[in-house]
Amino acid sequence: MLKKVAVAVGAVAFAMLDANPSLWIYDKLAPSNAFYENKNIWITGASSGIGAELAVQLSEAGANVVISARREKELEEVKGRCKAGSSVKVVPLDVTDRKAMHKSVEDVVEGHFGKKGLDILILNAGKSQRLPAMKTDLQMTRDLMNLNFESLVDMTLKVMKTDKWVERETGHIVVTSSVAGKLPVALSSSYAATKAAVNGYFSSLRSEFSWLRVDIVCPGPIATPIARNAASSAEGAKLLQNESEDNKMPVDRFTKLMLSGVKGPKQLFYETWISYQPVLFFTGAAQYVPTLAINLSKVVGPKRIKAFEAGKDVYKMSSWVTRDDVEK
């Protein structure tokens, strides 16, 4: 009886959080970002959203930041938002252009950061998907895998070799993954596959070196442009432009929690989940009660697809409930 009560109390407490419990508590107890002062940090996917906010908050913490993405104009705008007088360098980069990316790694690691090298590599470039699996062609899946997974692996290995991490036995990688890599997500099958690949690869890479720190950060829905720019059909892309951000976590709150985890004990924050409810609850269920999560997904998934095809906001639970559901 006591065990059942404890489980119920734990579930209710978890449902009140916006990050996994250890991170939520740590963020309250250790708010200082002094850890980042004078750290050399490279952020990819930094022209908007999470990457841009990371640049702003890290510049305020005194880090030396390099920001990269394809859009140079937007990168310059992000630099303008950073703390005045802070060290922020713009390096335009398409991470899927392997030859250009390798050259940029050499220029940044050996040229810009020099003898001290790179302290933290934040792999944040990526693209989402909003389309049923049966309407997602193989090329779209390949493009997502190329950007979200293969380019991250290639850049990581190039940085590790160029900066001689193995010889120096030092290195810190932060990967922006997704809760989609942890649980079933209707309308995001190919995207979820790329994030599951990210989780598996970087967890395995971490296991090969006792000195290597790898933080896998799994956000839920965040109020960034990633949904509006998701891989979709022509009709779906139009619908995404009007998607509400009311039920998504503000990017500054997410970034604060993310940076709390990155500076925390590596034994505790090797993987973090950050999201508003009910997504955080579903993520916990997928990890600890997978049978429950799978059965819930078979109820919620078809309703999300119907809501999407009807032009409704799939992140609003009210969009999932039809008149037939109420009458039943």
Beta bridge partners of 32: none
Measured CA to CA, the distance from residue 179 to residue 172 in angstroms comes to: 21
Query: Is 191 a known active-site residue?
Result: yes
Q: CA–CA distance from 107 to each of 21, 86, 92, 114, 174 (Å)?
A: 40, 20, 12, 9, 21
Residue that has been written with the tokens 């005194």 in this structure: 62
Beta bridge partners of 162: none
Amino acid (1-letter code) at residue 253:
R
Q: Strand 120-123 vs strand 40-44: parallel, antiparallel, or unpaired?
A: parallel
Amino acid (1-letter code) at residue 313:
D
Q: Strand 88-90 vs strand 271-274: parallel, antiparallel, or unpaired?
A: unpaired
Tokens of 257: 């929690």
301, 192 Cβ separation under 8 angstroms: no
Beta bridge partners of 215: 174
Residue 309: other Cβ atoms inside 10 A: 15
Measured CA to CA, the distance from residue 123 to residue 159 in angstroms comes to: 12
From 26, 36, 191, 201, the catalytic residue: 191
Measured CA to CA, the distance from residue 182 to residue 247 in angstroms comes to: 20
Residue that has been written with the tokens 């950050």 in this structure: 274
Q: What is the DSSP code string of 78-144?
A: HHHHSPTT--EEE----TT-HHHHHHHHHIIIIIISGGG--SEEEE-----B-S-GGG--HHHHHHH
Cis before 278 (ω within 30):
yes
Cβ-in-10-Å burial (0-12, 13-18, 19+) of 211 comes to: exposed
- Where in the sequence numbering do the catalytic residues fall? 191
